A and B are shown apart, each in its own frame.
Chain A
Amino acid sequence: MAEAPEKSFRVLPRVTAANEHFWRGGAEGVLRFLRCGDCGTWVHPPSPICPSCHGKGLTPEAVSGLGTVATWTLNHQPWVPASDHPYAIAIVELDEQSGLRLMTNVVGCAAEAVHIGMRVRVVFEEHDDVWIPLFEPVEA
């Protein structure tokens, strides 16, 4: 059996009832955000009310996991020792809603290949009790 690729060190999030859907959706292979049951608005980061209609009927819902790189940077600075500098940090906008975006890493390709407009799909990296949502290029 092939060994799993070495995972980079990550500061992990503190999981709470409010954010569990986001950080643990990867256990089932899906990326979840809160969505308003009244008006359909997707909300990130999690909030107890909908910013559009102020409704409280927000529930976690899976997105397609498809999105587009809105911007990116290649981090060269060794903030912590790692063997994979430079690595790509990006802001990805999900297909579901204009402005529904998250900071993430683009993996599964050369860091130098990352660009604005790149189509990407979510993948998850498991660390302890959380699944970090990362993105890899969608094969053409």
Chain B
Amino acid sequence: MEALERRAALTGIGQSEVGRRLGRDPLELTLDACLAAIRDAGLTTRDIDGLATYPGAFGGNPGFTGAGVTDVHDALRLELDWYSGGIERPGQLGAVIDACAAVACGFATHVLCFRSVWEGTAQGKGGRKGIGLDGGGSGGGGRGFRASGAPMEYTLPFRAYSAANWIAMVAQRHFHEFGTTREQLAWIALNARRHAAGNPKAIYREPMTLDDYLGARLISTPFCLYDCDVPCDGATAMIVSRAEVARDLRRPPLRVEAVGSALRGRPSWDQFDDLTTMALRDAAAMLWERTDLQPADVDVAELYDGFSFIALAWLEALGFCGRGEGGPFIEGGARIDLDGEIPLNTNGGQLSGGRLHGYGFLHEACLQLWGEGGDRQVPGDPRVAVAAAGGGPLGGCLLLTRD
């Protein structure tokens, strides 16, 4: 089987200002990121003939989306041959995977992909809301609100108002089956924080210790505050180009070696067959089915940490360690440091960098492969990176290589 995603390459990246609560027009942030990515690739808006985003203009808690396909299409007066925006896809990066398919099929030559959030400003000082409460959730909130359809109907009546509760139960089962501990899980958060120190855009950059972590207030056991990512405002964009034209652009193209978009178990937060993992198990398996490269070939991993445990689950699913071995693997943090076996979440992830919702990971993977990580650059000229996003029933990943 020929993996046709190899006809696609990442050719430019862009990111807006990122902050806890910027109070700026989310469409303006989005366009800042989009124009930066277009310039970074050495293109102009006239070259862009494809557009893809997650989740589109609708849905989610307040601030969950800052712009949809139509907003960006019209603001930049793009002339598009192909476009796609929506939430029912293999995780946040599913839109980028779709873009790879679009250029491989010849529907488009340069697809602008973006993700935009303003959850920090939308939530204000009140902090993160539960789904279905006080305006949270799609169409939810307010007096007399009734939950309808999965997952809301089968979670909210049981006072499980947040993915923090849902993912915490997966972590708890992992702890039970494999002996994973909070002291081990902490290293996802501690590693993110030490790497955030090298990222001027990161939300939290001051040092954090294991004692800080263990002393933080609990959210939903085994998760404490530092196991949960930090809502922010910001937008991220990247250009997916047809590989044969990518060679002539400003940057060395980053070829898409393989993608993972599979979901072979039930698409559910609580009905997945294996309660120690999630949809990402299947996405990761598919990625390795489509390439001769192996986990040992990967130089840097940018893995979704909306909750700390999700990154641990991605590490296992992608084969950087065995199933159930994630706890001991990350304990002490040496293996996932910049000079470790598999440098992880080099920009601080979402735990310390800010909840850019998946696209920050792909942006960082590209930056590392182009050697522009600055104070947080992985040494040794990294050439292979994996970027992955999604937890629960969401999961999608891409393996990138620089020739």
Contacts and interface: CB of A to CB of B under 8 A. Distances in A.
Given A19-B153, A87-B159, A116-B172, A76 B165 contact: no
Interface stretch (A33-41, A55-63, A102-110): A102-110
A99 interface: yes
Given A73-B169, A79-B133, A89-B158, A12 B217 contact: no
B164 to A, nearest CB: 7
A52 B387 CA distance: 35
Assign chain B's interface to a size class: 35 or more
Interface string B126-162: 0001101100000010000111101001111111111
Interface stretch (B48-56, B72-80, B229-237, B270-278): B270-278
Contact of A105 (B148, B159, B221): B159
A27 B168 CA distance: 32
B169 A72 contact: yes
A75 B220 contact: yes
Given A11-B147, A11-B156, A132-B157, A77 B169 contact: no
A102 B158 CA distance: 10
A11 B137 CA distance: 12
Given A71-B173, A103-B270, A80 B220 contact: no
B147 A13 contact: yes
A101 interface: yes
A77 B159 contact: no
A63 to B, nearest CB: 16
A45 B217 contact: no
A118 to B, nearest CB: 12
B91 to A, nearest CB: 22
B219 A77 contact: yes
B271 A101 contact: yes
A44 to B, nearest CB: 8
Contact of A91 (B145, B156, B217, B275): B275
Contact of B219 (A76, A80, A99, A130): A76
B129 A70 contact: no
Contacts of B221: 73-74, 76, 86
Assign chain A's interface to a size class: 35 or more
B154 A71 contact: no
A71 B275 contact: yes
A11 B371 CA distance: 50
Interface string B159-192: 1111011001110110010000000000000000
A8 interface: yes
B157 A91 contact: no
Query: Which of A11, A13, A44, A77 gathers most chain B CB within 10 Å?
Result: A11
B153 A13 contact: yes
Contacts of A14: 146-148, 153
B143 to A, nearest CB: 11
Contacts of A116: 172-173, 176
Contact of B146 (A12, A74, A80, A103): A12
A109 to B, nearest CB: 16
B218 interface: yes
B153 A91 contact: no
Interface string A48-70: 00000000000000000000001
A91 B156 CA distance: 13
Given A11-B133, A13-B148, A14-B147, A71 B153 contact: no
B155 A103 contact: yes
Given A13-B153, A71-B173, A116-B176, A80 B270 contact: no
Interface of B: 129-130, 132-133, 140, 145-148, 150, 153-162, 164-165, 168-170, 172-173, 176, 217-223, 270-271, 273, 275
Given A79-B133, A80-B161, 8 more contacts: A11-B140, A13-B147, A14-B146, A14-B153, A76-B217, A79-B130, A89-B165, A103-B160
